[in-house]
Structure 1
Amino acid sequence: MRLIWLFLIFHFPIYIYAQSDTSNWDLKRCISFGLQNNRNRTIYYNKKQEADAKAQELLAGYLPSVSLNGSLDDNLKLQETVIPAGAFSPTDIKIAMSKQFAMNTTAQLDQTIFDKSLLVGLKANKLNKQQADLNVRLSEETIIYNISKSYYQIKVYREQLYLLNSNLENYIKQVDISQLQVNKGVLLQKELDKVSVDRNNTISKIRVAQSNLELSINQLKYDMGYPFDDTISLDTTTEIVGVIGKTASNVSDTPSFFLQNITDYKIDEITMKADKINAEKIKAQMYPKLTAYAKYGTVGFGDYLGQTFQGTSPFAGVGLKLSFPILDFYKRNAQYKQAKFQSMNSMEQLKLNADKYRLDYKNAYNKMDQEQGNVIMDKNNIQLAESVLATTNLQYQKGVTDMTDWINAQNSLKEAQTNYLNSLYNYLMAKVDMEKSAGTLIKN
C-alpha cells in the first residue's frame, strides 16, 4: 500500500515539472508565436487590406472613367413620324425616319471637375487606413492579453499542484506513523481514519488540479494558434519568485498612463473625426457638380443585317454637365442634422471614454498594488504555517500533543496555501489588466 502512495506522490510532480525542466516556452515566446499564428490576426489584416481597397474606390471617383456602349436594334415595325401639311404636301405625310436594322456604338470619357461632397469624402481615406491599422493593433493586444491570462493560469495551477503534492507527502507519512500506533494500540482507529480522509481528499484535489491544468494548456494553445495535438513544454516556474519582494508603488517599471497609448481611445478619436466628415459630406451635397465629357461613336442603318455594318457614320462631341440638386433640400437638411448630432455625440462620447480609461487605470493600479501585498503576506503565512506544522509534528511524535492538533496545523497550512494561490492568481491577472489599462501590452 505504501508503494502505491509513494508512486502517487512522485508521479504527479514528475509529470508537471518535466515540461518546465525541458522548456523554452516562456511567456514572451508564447506571445511571439501567437502574434504570428492566431487566426484573428489574419482576419484583421484582411480587413486592413479591405480598407486600402475602399480608399482606392473613393479616390477613383475623381479619376477619369471610360465607358463603351453598343446597341443593335431590329425594328420589326418602324415607328413613323408626321410631316404636317403645308410646305411639302397639302396633306400630312407619314414617314419612317429609320430602317429595319439600326446599330450604335459609343465610347465616352467622363472627368469630374468639381464635386465638393466627393472632395470631403476623400478626407476619410486617411482615417479609414488609420482605423484599419489600429484594429490590427487592437487584435494583437487582445491576443497578448488572452495568452498572458492563460499562461498565468497555468502558472497558478502548477503552483497549486506543487503544494498539494507536498501536502500529500505529509499525509502519507502521517498515515504510516498512525498505522503503526494503531497496531500497537496507542491510537484509536478513528484518528487514523481522519488522516486517511484528508489524504484521500488531497488526492482528489490533485486530480482536479491536473485536469484544470490540462484545460488551461489547451486554452493557451487556442489563444496562440498552436496545434492541439502537439505537445508544448512551458516554463512557468521562474517568474513566481519575482512576485515577492516589492510593492506596486515601488516598482520602477510600472507603466504610466497616457491617453494616446490607449488603442481604444485612438479608435474613438477616429470615429469622432469620421462622424464630423460625414456631416460635412452631406452638407456639401448642396453644391453643384461639374463634369466634363468627350464621346465618339458610329451609327449604321440597313434593310438587312449585313448592310447595317457597312457605311457607318461617325460622330463625336465634347461638353460639360452641371448638376444642381434643388428640390431635395428638406431631405438633405434632415440628413445633415442627423449627422451633425451624431458628430456632437461622438465628441461627448470621446470625453466620456477618456474618463473611463483613466478610471480603469486607477482601479488596475490599486488592484495590482493590493494584490501584490496580499501575495507577500500570504506567502509569509505559508512559511509560518509550515513552521507550526513542523513543530506540531515533532511534538506529536514525542507524545506531547495529540492527532487533533496535528490535523489543525495541517489545515491551517492548507488554508494559507489556498489564500496564497488566490492572491497569486489575482495579482497576475491584475498585472495583465494593468498593462492593458495603460496601453502597454505591446512594447513600442
Structure 2
Amino acid sequence: MGNPMKKVYVLILFVLSSISLTAETLTLDKCIELGLKNSFTIFDQEIKLKKSKQSLLSTYYDFIPNISSNVKYNEMHNSLDNISKTAELSISEYIYSNDSRYFNIRRNTSALKQNRINYQLKKRQFIIQVLNYYLNVLQEQKLVEIKKKNLALSEKQLAMTELLYNLNKIAKLDLDRAKLDVSTTKLGILMQKKKLESTKLDLLQLIGLDLHTEYTLDTLTYRFTEYKKTQYTPGLSITFEKEQLFQDKLNYWQRKLELYPTLALSISKRFTWDLEETKYFSDYDDTWNFSAEVSYPILSLFTRNPEVKNAKYQYISQQRNLENLLSSENIKFQKALLDYQNSKEQLALLKEQVKLEKMHLEFIEQKYKLGMIDIIKLEEARNKYIDAQYNEIDGYYKLIKLNEELNLISDEKILGKY
C-alpha cells in the first residue's frame, strides 16, 4: 500500500507544480524590461542612434588627407629601347574658407545629441505606456473583485427578501426583482472578466509576449510624490528643439558664407621612386606644392540668395517654435500639477464616501428587514455603495497615472528609477 500511495503523492505534486508553472507572475519592472527589449519603437530609435554615430564618424574621416599611390611601367621600342619603372605616392589636402566639412561635423554632432535625447524621450514615453497598461489590468482585477462582492450582497439581499416573502411582508414581485438582480449581477461579473482578459491581451501585445501566455500581475506598492516646485523647468523636449535651432542656425551661416568669395588653400607632397635605379626605399625624389586661390562666381549673389533667405526663414521659424513650445510645456505642466493636486484631494473624499455609503447600506438593510422600506430603496443603497467603490478604484489608479505623467513632463524619474 505504501508504494502506490507514494506514487500518487508524487503525481499530485507534479500536477500541482505544473499548474503553478503555467501562470507566470509578472512584475511591473519585468514588463518594462520585456517591453523595452521587444518594442520596435525602441529598436528603431537604437538604430537611428547608431546611424547617427556613424554619420558623425564619417564626417571626421573627411578630414583625412587624400593619399594616392601608383606604380608605372613604361617600355619604349626605339633605337635605345628605353624601359622605365616608377612608383609614386602623393599626399594632398584642400582647405576652403567655407569648408562644408566643418559645418557637417557641427551639424552631425548636434544630430547625435538630438538622437540621444529622442531615444530617452521615446524610452520614457514607452515606460509610461507600459505602466498605464499594467495599471489597467490591476484596475480591472479590482473591479472584478468588487463585482463579486456585489454578487455576495445581492445574494444576501435575496435571502432577506425570501425570508420576508415567506412571512408575507412583501409581494412576489419584490422576490422576482431580487432574483433578477442576482442574475444581472452574475452577468456583470462575466462582462467584467471579459474586459479584464481584453486588457491582459493589450499588455501582452505591448510588451511582445505570446498572446496565449498565462500570467498574473504582482501587486504594486506605490508612493505618491509631494510636489513642492510649481514652476516648469525646461527638460528633454526643449533641449531637443534647441539642438534643432542650432542646426538651422548653422545651415543659415553656411548658406550665407556662400555669398562671399571663397579662399582655397592646397598643400601637396609627392614621393617618386625610380625602380630601375633605386635600391633603397629611402632613395626618392620629393616635391612640395602649395597654392592659394580666391574665387567668386559673379552671379552667386543672385543665384544663391533665395537659398540664404530660405535658411534664414527656417531659423526664424524655429526660434518662434521654441518659444511656443516653452510656453505650451509650461502650461501643460501647470495643468498636470493642478489636476494631480485636485485628484489627490478627490481620492481622499472618495475613500470617505465609500465608508459613508457602507454605513448607509447597513442602515437601509436594517430598515428593509423591518419592512419599513421596499426593495427599490435597498437596491439603490447597494448600487451607491458599489459605485463609490468603483470611483475610489478609478480615482486611485488615475492618480498614479497623473503622478507619473507629471514626472514625465517635469523630467523627474519615472517610478523613482527610470
Normalised-by-shorter TM-score class = 0.7 to 0.9
1:178 aligns with 2:153: no
Larger displacement relative to structure 2 (316-325 or 193-202): 316-325
Which residues of 2 match residues 145-160 of structure 1 at below 5 A? 145-160=128-143
Alpha-carbon contact 2:66-2:91 (below 8 Å) kept: yes
Alpha-carbon contact 1:282-1:335 (below 8 Å) kept: yes
Which residue number in structure 1 is paired with residue 249 of structure 2?
276
User: Following TM superposition, by how much is the alpha carbon of 1:54 offset from its aligned partner in structure 2, in angstroms?
Assistant: 0.9
Counterpart code for 2:368:
Y
Between the aligned partners of 1:222 and 1:321, the Cα distance in structure 2 is 64
User: Following TM superposition, by how much is the alpha carbon of 1:208 offset from its aligned partner in structure 2, in angstroms?
Assistant: 2.5
Between the aligned partners of 2:157 and 2:407, the Cα distance in structure 1 is 46
Alpha-carbon contact 2:49-2:115 (below 8 Å) kept: yes
Between the aligned partners of 1:254 and 1:217, the Cα distance in structure 2 is 36
Which residue number in structure 2 is paired with residue 164 of structure 1?
147
Alpha-carbon contact 1:64-1:109 (below 8 Å) kept: yes
Which residue number in structure 1 is paired with residue 361 of structure 2?
389
Alpha-carbon contact 2:232-2:334 (below 8 Å) kept: no
Alpha-carbon contact 2:164-2:369 (below 8 Å) kept: no
**Cα distance change of structure 1 residues 106 and 319 upon mapping to structure 2, 3 Å threshold:** farther
Counterpart code for 1:174:
Q
Larger displacement relative to structure 2 (179-188 or 333-342): 179-188
Which residue number in structure 1 is paired with residue 61 of structure 2?
60
Which residues of 2 match residues 360-375 of structure 1 at below 5 A? 360-375=332-347
TM-score by length of structure 2 reads 0.76
- The C-alpha deviation readout for 1:28-86, integer Å capped at 9, x for no partner, is 4433443344332221111111001111222233222346899xxxxxxxxxxxxxxxx
Alpha-carbon contact 1:259-1:265 (below 8 Å) kept: no
Alpha-carbon contact 1:259-1:354 (below 8 Å) kept: no
TM-score by length of structure 1 reads 0.72
**1:252 counterpart (201, 208, 226):** 226
User: Following TM superposition, by how much is the alpha carbon of 1:173 offset from its aligned partner in structure 2, in angstroms?
Assistant: 2.0
**1:288 counterpart (259, 263, 281):** 263
Which residue number in structure 2 is paired with residue 351 of structure 1?
323
User: Following TM superposition, by how much is the alpha carbon of 1:24 offset from its aligned partner in structure 2, in angstroms?
Assistant: 5.9
Alpha-carbon contact 1:218-1:228 (below 8 Å) kept: yes
Between the aligned partners of 2:39 and 2:187, the Cα distance in structure 1 is 35
Counterpart code for 2:93:
Q
Between the aligned partners of 1:419 and 1:152, the Cα distance in structure 2 is 15
Which residue number in structure 2 is paired with residue 341 of structure 1?
313
**Cα distance change of structure 1 residues 317 and 207 upon mapping to structure 2, 3 Å threshold:** same
Larger displacement relative to structure 2 (134-143 or 220-229): 220-229
Between the aligned partners of 2:402 and 2:134, the Cα distance in structure 1 is 14
**Cα distance change of structure 1 residues 190 and 107 upon mapping to structure 2, 3 Å threshold:** farther
Alpha-carbon contact 1:255-1:435 (below 8 Å) kept: no
- The C-alpha deviation readout for 1:278-336, integer Å capped at 9, x for no partner, is 11111233423334456799xxxxxxxxxxxxxxxxxx996658473413322322211
**1:410 counterpart (379, 382, 387):** 382
Alpha-carbon contact 2:143-2:192 (below 8 Å) kept: yes
Counterpart code for 2:180:
V
Which residues of 2 match residues 15-164 of structure 1 at below 5 A? 25-66=26-67, 110-118=92-100, 119-164=102-147
Between the aligned partners of 1:329 and 1:338, the Cα distance in structure 2 is 14
- The C-alpha deviation readout for 1:144-176, integer Å capped at 9, x for no partner, is 110111122222212211211111111122223
Between the aligned partners of 1:107 and 1:328, the Cα distance in structure 2 is 37
**Cα distance change of structure 1 residues 235 and 179 upon mapping to structure 2, 3 Å threshold:** same
- The C-alpha deviation readout for 1:325-367, integer Å capped at 9, x for no partner, is 4133223222112111211221222121111111111100100
Counterpart code for 1:439:
D
Between the aligned partners of 1:43 and 1:352, the Cα distance in structure 2 is 29
Counterpart code for 2:31:
C
Paired residue total = 368
User: Following TM superposition, by how much is the alpha carbon of 1:197 offset from its aligned partner in structure 2, in angstroms?
Assistant: 2.9
The percentage of aligned residue pairs carrying the same residue is 18
Between the aligned partners of 2:267 and 2:192, the Cα distance in structure 1 is 75
Between the aligned partners of 1:110 and 1:441, the Cα distance in structure 2 is 52
